[in-house]
A and B are shown apart, each in its own frame.
Chain A
């Protein structure tokens, strides 16, 4: 059966047979760049569509159903509209920062894709500090948001950006601690090693209590990190109109919008990799018929399925909960999530040392 790994190897071999290794590597870079941009646009379309459908279902509506069959091309139409819209730069903004900010947010979202393992042995860069790389890069996106807020020369944008700064910097901590729990259990920062360690069972099953707690904390923290409701302080529609992207329009706004959804994808993919076994299929016991059926499902489907489940959970949060206030948001982090995740880390260490996990 042609897997993604198989195709990647074929392309690699063909390129190396045709060109010198240096040129082949260059072509591979190019192909990866094109693929990532392609994945970006598809993710944007699919996730925005999904969000609109999920919200419609929860709100007793039908959601987009006019453009294309069952409204599937609604987001395509929206994208076309945003592309042809004038990319306005208002007077009085800091032109360089204003125009740079969406690209920074976007590039950060793109770079985090590198160590993600999309299927079995299908990864752009199996860097040995994978988890650390992701946490390090993802904290850069706050720079883009602060830039946008400051450069817009708008009070609402500034407030939104400042809120977002405080929020992302604090929630990085507990997200990091939640990730560390898994790193301790695995003993490796490498994404492929973490996935392989789960071949006999996902961490959420094997690691019991500390992993459950870490998983809940991770989901809360990444919801906050991606500026999603109920933690959408940076946008806070009813308070700050649109927060840091109040002044943006057209494609520049679309880049922020896209980056938000790609960030959700990335953090959910990370959650799926660390807690739900990445591309590993669901197994019960050893060598049963059930396991063989599960093995038959391609690894890329497993990975996508888990990721989209987590994305659904984050959307579910958004369409259920009211927004927190900024001081309550920080209270939640510093008084609840951080102490708990620190104790949880100790617990995980204890469990790892004593070998109490399965």
Chain B
């Protein structure tokens, strides 16, 4: 029957209950708004609504110079702010044809891996909190706090450091840096087994995780998932392996892959990444070469006319930075390919047919950072 009003409330037709999860909800880790259609406890459909924390970072970056726009990207994925800054700095360096001194390269990679560990430990705690275990959150913060202290000592800030500058890093390492990192690795190696005992091995946790939120390899590719989310489905997509930047080609590390594609696989991938990051740190920390920390650059940077694209592996996946330059001091157009946005788009596909509790667990394993999705 033809209906004049085109807008039909879908829930009136299907009889589903529509609940708004968010923008203020304990499980959405920020201001993500999910419109969840449920039938009983079973999820029929999930619609993510974005835009609550859109700050137009891309547009803002267009009015800032090539030195200035890097700091804004810390505010996208604030948990891996170093890696965001790194990707932007690399893009500018690509345009300037600047070779980064080896010491700066080592420092950058070490900082990236520290950031990855900090991000993954926070994720681990938040993930456990999503499924209802509150104690792991505090244990995770114990480790994260150590990294934050290391960062604070060297970079001057704990979360949004702005340590990467085009051509290198802002200042040299703190004299105690290497010692602190070694202490941290020693501490973390003794504690990471506790993570397994407390959460991974727990039968309730495994039941909550196994077999829910299944994302097949094909789906992961077609939704453009990257990072641990895709690796949990068996897609090899680690930028550090495939397109090594800085000194990633000099270190030995594995790319953890799981084939199950469920929440538990994604969880395991992230836990293994913690161990891999530690092994990268151990390989690099002792032989940081002496030398300059910054390449010589002009005071006012001007990128030649053209388009530049770099990518980096953040804690959440592939971050792409695309700069269009008209030859001026500010970018003509900047586009960030953020991993969270693509990963979130798979949520509806994964969640259908699951329970409300599963949805929360899935959001946990996707490791969503809302400012990264909205930008």
A residues in contact (CB < 8 Å) with B: 55, 58-61, 155-156, 159, 163, 229-230, 232, 236-241, 319-328
Q: Which of A55, A324, A326 lies at the interface centre, i.e. has the most chain B CB atoms within 10 A of its CB? A: A324
Q: Determine whether B128 belongs to the interface, using a CB cutoff of 8 Å to chain A.
A: yes
| Pair A155/B17 contact, Cβ less than 8 Å | yes
Q: Which residues of A contact B41 (CB under 8 A)?
A: 159, 163, 326-327
On whether the beta carbons of A239 and B134 are closer than 8 Å, the reply is no
CB distance from B280 to the nearest CB of A (A): 28
In the complex, besides A239-B357, A321-B133, A322-B205, 18 extra interface pairs with C-beta distance below 8 angstroms are A55-B135, A58-B135, A59-B137, A60-B138, A61-B138, A236-B132, A238-B129, A238-B132, A320-B133, A320-B135, A321-B202, A323-B132, A325-B357, A326-B41, A327-B41, A327-B355, A328-B207, A328-B208
Tell me if B138 and A238 are in contact (CB < 8 A): no
The reply to whether B357 and A326 form a contact with Cβ atoms under 8 Å apart is yes
B192-203 CB mask vs A (1 if < 8 Å, else 0) is 000000110010
A322–B208 touching, CB < 8 Å: yes
Q: Does the CB pair B356–A240 fall under 8 Å?
A: yes
- Which residues of chain B are near A323, meaning CB under 8 Å? 131-133, 204, 208, 357
Residue of B nearest to A321 (CB): B204
* A325 / chain B contacts, CB cutoff of 8 Å: 207-208, 355, 357-358
In the assembled complex, B26 has its CB within 8 A of some CB on chain A? yes
Cβ–Cβ contact A239 & B360, under 8 A: yes
Question: How near does chain A come to B360, taking the closest CB pair, in angstroms?
Answer: 5
Contacts of B19 in A (CB 8 A): 155-156, 159
Query: What chain B residues lie within 8 Å of A156 (beta carbons)?
Result: 19
Q: Could you list some 12 contacts between A and B, CB below 8 A?
A: A55-B134, A59-B139, A159-B19, A230-B132, A237-B132, A238-B132, A239-B27, A239-B357, A321-B204, A322-B128, A322-B131, A328-B207
For residue B152, give the distance in angstroms from its CB to the closest CB of chain A: 20
B132–A321 contact, CB under 8 A?
yes
Chain A residues near B208: list those with CB within 8 A. 322-325, 328
Task: Report B-chain residues with C-beta under 8 Å of the C-beta of A60.
Answer: 138-139, 142
- Is B130 located at the chain interface by the 8 A CB criterion? yes
With the chains together, A319 CA to B137 CA distance in Å? 11
Q: Which residues of A contact B59 (CB under 8 A)?
A: none
Contacts of B205 in A (CB 8 A): 322
Chain B 22-44 residues near chain A, CB threshold 8 A = 25-27, 41
Contact across chains for A59 and B357 when beta carbons are under 8 A apart:
no
- What residue in chain B is nearest A233 (Cβ atoms)? B357
Taking a contact as CB atoms under 8 Å apart, the answer to whether B355 and A326 are in contact is yes
Q: Contact residues of B with A, CB < 8 Å?
A: 17, 19, 25-27, 41, 128-135, 137-139, 142, 198-199, 202, 204-205, 207-208, 355-360
Nearest chain A CB to B209 CB, angstrom units: 9
Q: Which of B26, B137, B355 contacts A237 (CB 8 A)?
A: B26
Q: Which of A61, A322, A324 contacts B199 (CB 8 A)?
A: A322
List of A residues within 8 angstroms of B26 by Cβ:
237-238, 241
Query: Could you say which residues of chain B place their CB within 8 Å of the CB of A59?
Result: 134-135, 137-139
CA distance A59 to B132 in the complex (A): 14
Cβ–Cβ < 8 Å partners of B135 in chain A: 55, 58-59, 319-320
State in angstroms the CA–CA spacing of A60 and B142 once bound together. Answer: 9
Across the two chains, which residue of chain B brings its CB closest to A59? B138
If the complex has contacts A155-B19, A230-B204, A324-B207, are A238 and B139 also in contact, measured as CB distance less than 8 A? Answer: no
Assembled-state Cα–Cα distance A61/B135 (Å)? 10
Task: Note all chain A residues with C-beta closer than 8 A to B358.
Answer: 325
The chain B residue sitting closest to A60, CB to CB, is B138
Query: Quick one: which of B128, B139, B357 contacts A236, CB cutoff 8 A?
Result: B357
Query: Inside 8 A of A239's CB, which chain B residues have their CB?
Result: 27, 356-357, 359-360
Residue of B nearest to A327 (CB): B355
Q: How far is the CA of A326 from the CA of B27 in the complex (A)?
A: 17
A39 to B181, CA, bound (A): 53
Q: How far is the CA of A324 from the CA of B359 in the complex (A)?
A: 13
Closest to A320 in B: B135
B360 touches A238 (CB 8 A): yes
Residues of A near B139 (CB, < 8 A) are 59-60
Query: Please, how many angstroms separate the alpha-carbon atoms of A251 and B92 in the complex?
Result: 59
Chain B residue with Cβ nearest A324 = B204
Q: Give the CA-CA distance A275 to B297 in the complex, in Å.
A: 78
Min CB distance, B155 to chain A, in Å?
26
- Cα distance A326–B41 in the bound complex, in angstroms: 8
Please report the C-alpha to C-alpha distance between residue A280 and residue B130 in the assembled complex, in whole angstroms.
Answer: 42
Least CB distance from A230 to B in Å reads: 6
Q: How far is the CA of A259 from the CA of B355 in the complex (A)?
A: 29
Interface centre among B142, B205, B357 (most CB of A within 10 A): B357
